[in-house]
């Protein structure tokens, strides 16, 4: 049900895992906010939300990007073939471009690059860094995309490790 709401909503959607429904004062505190960054327009907008929330809460901000490694070819599948980063240094440079000076001062962001499927890497960071909130930019995907490739958003929500805030781009929300 929440996945359908996320795909159709024009507004950001906050999904709280069932296990976190009984809130205590400690569970309401945000110490670490992570933002998944795939450098698409939705993730750019998500960075703005994540930085604003982290700054307001006095939380640590992590920007997380996954480079998908191909063991068969011992390379990154997108190396030299797309607009996606082709190395860890390239990913860090491109994530740095998303940050304003105000974000750097107020949030002291940490840029994290992992290797593997985006959903797996994000879940690893959530567990290793005790992330309280993940902010994700979402876009409409076709049924084939969701069946064949899955979804980072779906994986996080179904895993239920932390609260997830999904943010649609204005353009995709206006087209619906």
List all residues 6 or more positions away from 159 whose beta carbon is below 8 Å from its beta carbon. 123
Q: How confident is the model at residue 74 (pLDDT cuts 50, 70, 90)?
A: very low
Residue 145 has pLDDT above 50, yes or no: no
pLDDT value of residue 148: 35
- Integer angstrom CA distances of residue 159 from 105, 145, 152: 33, 20, 11
Residue 30 has pLDDT above 50, yes or no: yes
Q: Which domains does the chain have, with CATH numbers?
A: 2-175 (3.40.50.620)
Segment 70-79 mean pLDDT: 48
Segment 61-80 mean pLDDT: 67
Segment 37-60 mean pLDDT: 92
pLDDT tens digits, 117-135 = 888 899 999 999 999 999 9
Q: How confident is the model at residue 27 (pLDDT cuts 50, 70, 90)?
A: low
Count the Cβ atoms, other than its own, within 10 Å of residue 78: 14
Q: What are phi and psi of 170, to 5 degrees?
A: -60, -40
pLDDT value of residue 2: 62
Mean predicted lDDT score pLDDT of the chain: 78
Q: How confident is the model at residue 22 (pLDDT cuts 50, 70, 90)?
A: low
Q: How confident is the model at residue 140 (pLDDT cuts 50, 70, 90)?
A: low
Q: What angle do CA 34, 107, 91 make, to 5 degrees?
A: 55
Segment 10-17 mean pLDDT: 79
Interatomic CA distance for residues 60 and 55, integer angstroms: 8
Q: How confident is the model at residue 170 (pLDDT cuts 50, 70, 90)?
A: low
Count the Cβ atoms, other than its own, within 10 Å of residue 106: 16
Q: How confident is the model at residue 66 (pLDDT cuts 50, 70, 90)?
A: very high
């Amino acid at each position: 049900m929440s996945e359908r709401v996320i795909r159709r909503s024009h507004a950001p959607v906050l999904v709280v895992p069932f296990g976190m429904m009984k809130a205590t004062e400690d569970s309401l505190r945000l110490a670490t906010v992570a933002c998944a960054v795939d450098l698409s327009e939705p993730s750019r907008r998500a960075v703005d939300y994540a930085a604003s929330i982290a700054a307001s809460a006095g939380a640590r901000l992590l920007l997380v990007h996954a480079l998908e490694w191909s063991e068969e070819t011992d390379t990154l599948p997108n190396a030299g073939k797309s607009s996606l980063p082709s190395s860890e240094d390239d990913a860090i440079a491109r994530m740095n471009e998303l940050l304003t000076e105000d974000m750097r001062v107020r949030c002291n962001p940490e840029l994290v690059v992992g290797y593997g499927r985006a959903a797996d890497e994000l879940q690893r960071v959530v567990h290793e860094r005790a992330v309280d909130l993940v902010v994700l930019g979402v876009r409409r995907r076709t049924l084939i995309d969701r069946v064949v490739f899955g979804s980072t958003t779906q994986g996080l929500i179904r895993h239920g490790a932390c609260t997830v805030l999904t943010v649609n781009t204005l353009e995709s929300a206006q087209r619906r």
